[in-house]
């Protein structure tokens, strides 16, 4: 048992402490304090007060308790009704009275103090009453977890990334380990099964901290000596739902809504005072419709014409004959393409799309969903000092995805059957020594069917005519062993423990099983300038290029996908890939709560994590001959010396079993996370001090510091596996080699041009990525295998005061300093080569050249630029300088200088540099995106909480946050390759800006108010008819979110990712308009006037990230209910409920088109961030 006690904490526990005094207020040492559970009528534990009169009950279950104190010469005093919430230290003080002949005991109704006087952790606990009574859109407790200060609707907590939250149910990890979506539990937590929960938003103690985000502790209900339960039914329908803004604009009817949620719960004793049970079954049955938006060809495009805006902004059209004249091969509109276009429905909206040739089509599609949830819990207490619990859960889910277009089958069907169990044992070894042990299994299992049966060609900018979804099956069992030990000695409460988690991620994935091809205008030499009308508005050139490519059927890019067995055999096209990625986690902690004085507690601890890297269990894993981080640094060092990056060597892939191989990332053995907090509870006996501070335990001043490590692993392994060359090999024809004359033409959706489909390379290792002009220069992903553990340093200072009538107020400063955060960077991006002779760098020379191109300078007026003259001196001719020759290439790619560099440095067209080809560009990779731990960020905030404990029929929480968050990238590890990408890997600080989730002001509030109507009536029938009314609600509001303006389809700095746009001067503040000049909701009231405020970004620059602001969130949910107490039993009731989500039917927009690809869609909003109003009706029978 002691061995088990050395395995980590049960995070669903809490603690109760207090002070025992005599009638004069003097501490009473040696008093016997007994703790009893009121709900189960059980004796829980007994202790003795220390020399300062203090007592502590560590590691107790959340419950309603009765505390009794006794001492010779005094009457026994009992405080009843003390509610202890999960992970929230509670306090109950007792005052003894002199022994009396009249009575030997005194019982008072008490409440635990709302002020935390033990540690510096922040976060609100919510009990079962508001959980059940608040309106809940999805009937899942996850929707309530954001009702805290410092939390955004996207799940970012105090400036942290949303994938770093840790969710436990009864002390067992229930996170979705692959995606790690914020506040998401693999096991559905139904409202009727939750006893309570707490979200610790910052500076959790050392017994918590898997991940650097919020620590969410959920507790399943238990049975009691009294039988209790419920039977309920929730219903939503079309008649009481509103239509969406964009549906109304497009004339699309309101989607069908039909949701039924029946359920039952039952709890009680199997054997009173010993064995208890609790069951819950809930089903969700949807037969509804969802809104779908697709991009389809315009009516003009379907007939072989092209729409465009000329340089004056007027709308013009090219006839089929004029399109034919532009086609270098004289073919014009491709007949096979037109045949496909005729099968698309006609557009009914201007968005999504480019607003010219690719337009929007919105429709409603069937959604079928059937979820079943089964939950059971048993609690057993054979003796007063020993208790056990078992919780089991099972889910059977089925749902469908929307079809690609009306009349088609669902694009996918989803099946899921998550399961979980938890076993716990608590033991009171001595009055001062308590231990617990936990084991849990959480098994995530999900399958998605696919529709794709063959390799396909797609039209860039258009939705696929047929769904090209691929199948995937994933099973992720997580075993967790843990426990802890608590020892109370004098003024010290010492705790220590450890945890072990064993995870397997088994998948069968078809996402990389087919070849693909596309009409990518940027893959052509000159990026389609020879097929774009000269009179086209410059800002629309990318959009017109995409339309011309589609209409002419120019297939420019083909990606060949080959997968291999471990023996080197090529799998058939379409065959899924089997993988089993496993990882282990080991964590230990020790902490001490030391009462320096009766009202001062110092808590300090250390958490130590051992994190081996994720690995593929069957050996289907590769490494590189050179550590990629070292390779990148070497390339940069060579550039500083004026030497070619070719000297850094080639990347060769080897099997993980090779002695020279390295793991995906190092074994992180030194993740030491100290925690420190100080809690001071000043009080006043009389006068202004008592008015200001209140009595004992009614005020607390707390300060804390904590170090927390990010959880990384499984999402990294998924992305790396998709590009593990030698096992999962993707080969693409090089960009910039084909023209509209030489590229193959479209013949059918499932006809991949064989001339561009590269054959499978031989299997086996070592495997070298191709590096020739005709085969290399790939865009791919990897991991910087020198990753270090990202970590944050959390700071907080708070002052809390409990007021009269159950009110509580707290003001806090909360800060977070993030270091070594993950960010994607391009390890193969062109180096910033220095010319040794002039010390001018490539970026400086490219900027000078790009400015000349923008000025449309005559070639004879192009001056000699030192870098080009010295490093590309071979290009000079008798009539032109080297700089003038470079200019002749650069003006083919206005605002896209990286393509010009490709011609010069990769393809040596018209000639090579003085150091040969590939001085700056890598011949194997045009872009190699890899997660690296080089980013960071800062967050500072002021936070307020106003709370009213339930009394006089009212309970509420109001939270306000004023904050600023800055970072290099806000994307999470599960965002995939090229997300949150460093455009200039040689100068990361260019990307620093406010975070994507930065919101200056955030408010949220919830309340439950039992209306006093009829409550005072003495007549039972009067109370039944007029009483029992309740009003509840949730209100959330935030100021605007940041958004970035794009650089169009122009690549100046990085080969694969465009820069952000660059402001030309002052930028017009965003002002949402539902009817902007271009029609429809827009960021600006006059979009055309703001387009000129942005310039195209120059080479070496990243542009301006998150410069403007768009809609924030505003939502108001309400619930009105009437409860009838049934005449045959006061403990039986029937409740009718009417809940409304988005009561005011407010519209908040998101997803504005600010890419600068088409002037027709500039600034237009494309979607609605909130759901249109829906109403829900419920009937509940409770007993």
- Residue range 1131-1157: average pLDDT? 93
Question: Range with the lowest mean pLDDT among 569-578, 597-606, 729-738, 770-779?
Answer: 770-779
Residues 660-701 have pLDDT tens digits of: 999 999 999 999 999 999 999 999 888 898 889 988 889 999
The total number of structural domains that make up the chain: 2
pLDDT at 1094: 93
Per-residue pLDDT, averaged over 297-310, amounts to 96
Residue 102 clears pLDDT 50, i.e. is over it: no
97 falls within a domain:
yes
What are the DSSP calls for 1137-1152, one per residue? EEEEESTT----EE--
Last residue of a domain, one of 53, 81, 109: 109
Asked if the model's pLDDT at residue 9 lies above 50, the reply is no
Q: Last residue of some domain: 919, 952, 977?
A: 919
User: What pLDDT does 1075 receive?
Assistant: 62
pLDDT at residue number 1026: 80
Cα–Cα separations (whole angstroms), residue 1042 to 993, 1106, 1109, 1159 = 10, 5, 4, 21
Judge whether 687 lies within some domain: no
107 has a pLDDT exceeding 70: no
Instruction: Return d(Cα 818, Cα 806) in angstroms, integer.
Output: 37
Q: What are the phi and psi torsion angles at 714 (to 5°)? A: -60, -45
Cβ-based neighbour number of residue 89 at 10 Å = 25
304: left (phi over 0), alpha (psi -120 to 50) or beta: left
pLDDT interval class at 11 (50, 70, 90): very low
- Structural domain range at position 68: 2-109
What gap in Å lies between CA 738 and CA 728, rounded to an integer?
A: 26
**What is the per-residue pLDDT for 298?**
97
pLDDT of residue 4: 31
Give pLDDT, residue 496: 95
- CATH number of domain containing 12: 2.60.40.1120
Collapsed DSSP state (helix, strand, coil) of residue 360? strand
- How high is the pLDDT of residue 695? 86
| Average pLDDT, rounded, for the chain | 92
- How far is CA 471 from its chain centroid? 23
pLDDT for the residue 1074: 61
Q: Residue 720: its pLDDT value, please?
A: 82
Least confident interval from 175-179, 754-758, 1098-1102: 175-179
- Write down the pLDDT at residue 1071: 67
If you count them, how many residues does the chain have? 1183
Give domain status of residue 931, yes or no. Answer: no
CA 267 to chain CA centroid, Å, is: 36
Q: Which two tokens stand for residue 109?
A: 């109704």
| pLDDT at 8 (0 to 100) | 35
- In the chain, % of residues over pLDDT 70: 96
Of 117, 120, 121, whose CA–CA distance to 598 is shortest? 117
- Tens of pLDDT, residue by residue over 546-581, are 999 999 999 999 999 999 999 999 999 999 999 999
In angstroms and rounded to an integer, the radius of gyration of the C-alpha atoms of the chain is 33
Helix axis angle for 842-854 and 882-890, nearest 10°, is 60
What's the pLDDT score for residue 1019? 67
Helices and strands of the chain, counted as H and E runs: 16, 57
Residue the block writes with tokens 């500072």: 940
Would you say residue 81 lies in a domain? yes
Residue at 117 is within a domain:
no
Residue 703 pLDDT greater than 60, yes or no: yes
In tens, the pLDDT along 994-1018 reads: 999 999 999 999 999 999 887 655 5
How many Cα atoms occupy the beta-carbon half-sphere of 842 within 13 Å? Answer: 30
Is residue 735 pLDDT above 80, yes or no?
A: yes
- pLDDT tens for 876-925 read 999 999 999 999 999 999 999 999 999 999 999 999 999 999 999 999 99
Establish whether the linkage from the previous residue to 352 is cis, with ω within 30° of 0.
yes
- pLDDT recorded at residue 1084: 86
Question: Would the pLDDT of 5 be above 50?
Answer: no
Final residue of a domain: which of 86, 109, 132?
A: 109
> Which of 23-37, 330-344, 828-842 shows the lowest mean pLDDT across its residues?
23-37
Distances (CA, A) of 499 to 107, 209, 320, 488, 607: 41, 12, 70, 22, 11
pLDDT score recorded for residue 2: 33
pLDDT of residue 62: 84
Q: What is the pLDDT of residues 383-437, one digit of tens each?
A: 988 999 999 999 999 999 999 999 999 999 999 999 999 999 999 999 899 999 9
Global pTM value? 0.90
d(CA 141, CA 130): 11
Strand order in the sheet with 215-220: 125-127, 194-200, 215-220, 166-169, 172-173
Residue 684 β-bridge partners: none
Task: Locate the DSSP E strands across 622-667.
Answer: 622-624, 652-655
Distance of CA 375 to the CA centre of its chain: 27
pLDDT of residue 7 exceeding 60:
no
Q: How many CB atoms lie within 10 A of CB 958?
A: 18
Q: Is residue 664 part of a domain?
A: no
Do the domain assignments include residue 1000? no
How far out from the chain centre does Cα 523 lie?
33
């Amino acid at each position: 048992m002691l061995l088990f006690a050395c395995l980590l904490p049960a995070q669903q526990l809490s603690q109760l402490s207090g002070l025992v005094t005599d009638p004069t207020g003097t501490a009473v040492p040696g008093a016997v304090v007994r703790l009893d559970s009121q709900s189960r009528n059980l004796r829980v534990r007994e202790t003795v007060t220390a020399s300062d009169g203090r007592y502590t009950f560590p590691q107790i279950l959340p419950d309603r308790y009765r505390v009794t104190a006794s001492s010779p010469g005094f009457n026994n005093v009992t405080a009843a009704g003390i509610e202890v919430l999960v992970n929230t230290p509670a306090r109950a003080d007792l005052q003894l009275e002199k022994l009396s002949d009249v009575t030997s005991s005194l019982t008072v109704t008490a409440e635990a103090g709302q002020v935390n006087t033990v540690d510096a952790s922040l976060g609100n606990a919510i009990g079962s009453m508001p959980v059940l009574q608040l309106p809940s859109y999805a009937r899942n407790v996850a929707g309530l977890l954001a009702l805290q200060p410092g939390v955004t609707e996207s799940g970012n907590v105090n400036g942290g990334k949303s994938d770093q939250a840790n969710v436990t149910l009864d002390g067992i990890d229930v996170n979705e380990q692959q995606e790690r979506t914020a506040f998401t539990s693999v096991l559905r937590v139904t409202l009727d099964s939750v006893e309570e929960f707490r979200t610790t938003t910052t500076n959790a103690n050392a017994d918590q901290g898997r991940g650097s985000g919020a620590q969410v502790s959920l507790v399943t209900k238990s049975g009691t000596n009294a039988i209790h339960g419920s039977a309920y039914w929730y219903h939503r329908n079309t008649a009481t739902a509103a239509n969406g803004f964009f549906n109304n604009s497009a004339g699309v009817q309101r989607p069908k809504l039909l949701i039924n949620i029946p359920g039952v719960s039952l709890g009680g004793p199997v054997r009173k005072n010993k064995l208890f049970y609790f069951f819950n079954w809930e089903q969700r049955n949807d037969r509804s419709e969802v809104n779908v938006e697709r991009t389809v060809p315009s009516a003009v495009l379907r007939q072989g014409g092209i729409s465009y805006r000329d340089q004056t902004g007027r709308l013009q059209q090219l006839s089929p004959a004029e399109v034919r004249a532009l086609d270098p091969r004289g073919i014009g509109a491709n007949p096979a393409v037109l045949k496909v276009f005729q099968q698309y429905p006609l557009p009914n909206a201007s968005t999504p799309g480019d607003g010219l040739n690719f337009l929007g089509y919105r429709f409603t599609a069937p959604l079928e969903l059937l979820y079943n949830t089964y939950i059971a819990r048993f609690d057993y207490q054979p003796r007063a000092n020993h208790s056990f619990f078992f919780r089991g859960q099972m889910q059977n889910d089925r749902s469908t995805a929307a079809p690609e277009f009306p009349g088609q089958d669902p694009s996918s069907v989803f099946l899921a059957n998550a399961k979980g169990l938890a076993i716990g044992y608590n033991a009171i070894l001595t009055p001062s020594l308590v231990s617990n042990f936990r084991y849990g299994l959480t098994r995530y299992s999900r399958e998605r069917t696919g529709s794709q049966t063959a390799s396909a060609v797609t039209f860039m900018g258009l939705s696929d005519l047929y769904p090209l979804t691929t199948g995937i099956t994933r099973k992720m069992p997580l075993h967790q062993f843990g426990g802890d030990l608590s020892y109370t000695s004098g003024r010290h409460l010492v705790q220590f423990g450890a945890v072990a988690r064993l995870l397997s991620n088994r998948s069968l994935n078809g996402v990389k099983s087919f070849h693909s091809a596309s009409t990518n205008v940027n893959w052509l030499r000159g990026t389609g300038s020879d097929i774009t009308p000269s009179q086209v508005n410059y800002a629309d050139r990318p959009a017109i290029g995409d339309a011309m490519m589609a209409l002419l059927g120019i297939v420019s890019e083909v990606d060949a996908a080959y997968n291999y067995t471990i023996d080197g055999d090529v799998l058939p096209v379409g065959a899924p890939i089997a993988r089993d990625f496993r990882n282990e986690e080991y964590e230990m902690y020790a902490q001490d709560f030391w009462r320096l004085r009766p009202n001062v507690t110092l808590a300090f601890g250390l958490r130590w994590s051992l994190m081996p890297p994720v690995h593929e269990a069957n050996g289907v894993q590769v490494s590189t001959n050179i550590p990629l981080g070292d390779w990148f640094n070497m390339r940069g060092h060579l550039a500083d010396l004026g030497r070619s990056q070719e000297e850094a060597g080639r990347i060769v892939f080897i099997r993980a079993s090779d002695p020279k191989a390295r793991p995906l990332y190092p074994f992180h053995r030194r993740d030491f996370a100290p925690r420190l907090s100080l809690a001071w509870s000043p009080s006043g006996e009389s006068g202004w001090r008592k008015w200001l501070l209140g009595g004992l335990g009614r005020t607390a001043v707390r300060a804390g510091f904590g170090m927390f490590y990010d959880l990384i692993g499984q999402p990294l392994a998924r992305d790396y596996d998709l590009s593990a060359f030698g096992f999962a090999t993707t080969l693409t024809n090089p960009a910039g080699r084909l023209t509209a004359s030489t590229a193959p033409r479209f013949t059918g959706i499932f006809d991949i041009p064989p001339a561009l489909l590269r054959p499978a390379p031989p299997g086996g290792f070592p495997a070298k990525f191709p590096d020739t002009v005709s085969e290399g220069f790939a865009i791919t992903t990897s991991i910087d295998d020198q990753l270090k553990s990202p970590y944050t340093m959390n700071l907080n200072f708070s002052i809390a005061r409990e007021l009269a009538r159950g009110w509580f107020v707290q003001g806090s400063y909360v800060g977070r300093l993030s270091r070594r955060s993950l960010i994607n960077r391009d390890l193969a991006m062109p180096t910033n080569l220095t010319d040794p002779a002039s010390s001018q760098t490539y970026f400086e020379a490219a900027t000078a050249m790009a400015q000349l191109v923008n000025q449309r300078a005559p070639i004879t007026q192009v001056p000699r630029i030192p870098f080009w003259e010295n490093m590309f001196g071979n290009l000079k001719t008798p009539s032109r300088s080297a700089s003038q020759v470079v200019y002749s290439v650069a003006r083919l790619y206005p605002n896209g200088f990286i393509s010009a560099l490709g011609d010069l440095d990769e393809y040596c067209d018209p000639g090579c540099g003085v150091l040969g080809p590939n001085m700056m560009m890598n011949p194997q990779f045009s872009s190699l995106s890899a997660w690296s731990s080089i980013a960071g960020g800062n967050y500072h905030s002021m936070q307020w909480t106003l709370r009213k404990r339930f009394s006089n029929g009212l309970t509420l929480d109001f939270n306000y946050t004023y904050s600023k968050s800055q970072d290099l990238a806000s994307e999470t590890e599960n965002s995939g390759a090229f997300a949150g990408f460093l455009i200039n890997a040689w100068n990361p600080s260019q990307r620093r800006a406010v975070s994507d989730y930065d919101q200056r002001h955030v408010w949220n509030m919830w309340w439950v108010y039992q209306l006093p109507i009829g409550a005072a009536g003495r007549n039972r029938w009067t109370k039944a008819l007029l009483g029992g009314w309740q009003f509840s609600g949730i209100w959330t509001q935030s100021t605007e979110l940041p958004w970035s303006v794009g650089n169009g389809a122009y690549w100046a700095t990085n080969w694969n990712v465009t820069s952000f746009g660059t402001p030309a001067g002052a930028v017009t503040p965003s002002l949402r308009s539902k009817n902007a000049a271009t029609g429809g909701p827009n960021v600006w009231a006059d979009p055309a006037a703001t387009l000129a405020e942005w310039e195209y970004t120059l080479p070496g620059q990243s542009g301006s990230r998150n410069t403007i602001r768009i809609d924030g969130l505003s939502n108001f949910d309400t619930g009105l209910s009437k409860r009838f107490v049934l005449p045959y039993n006061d403990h039986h009731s029937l409740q009718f409920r009417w809940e409304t989500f988005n009561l005011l039917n407010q519209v908040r927009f998101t997803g504005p088109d600010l890419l600068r690809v088409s002037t027709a869609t500039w600034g237009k909003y494309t979607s609605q961030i909130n759901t249109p109003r829906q109403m829900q009706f419920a009937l509940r029978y409770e007993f």
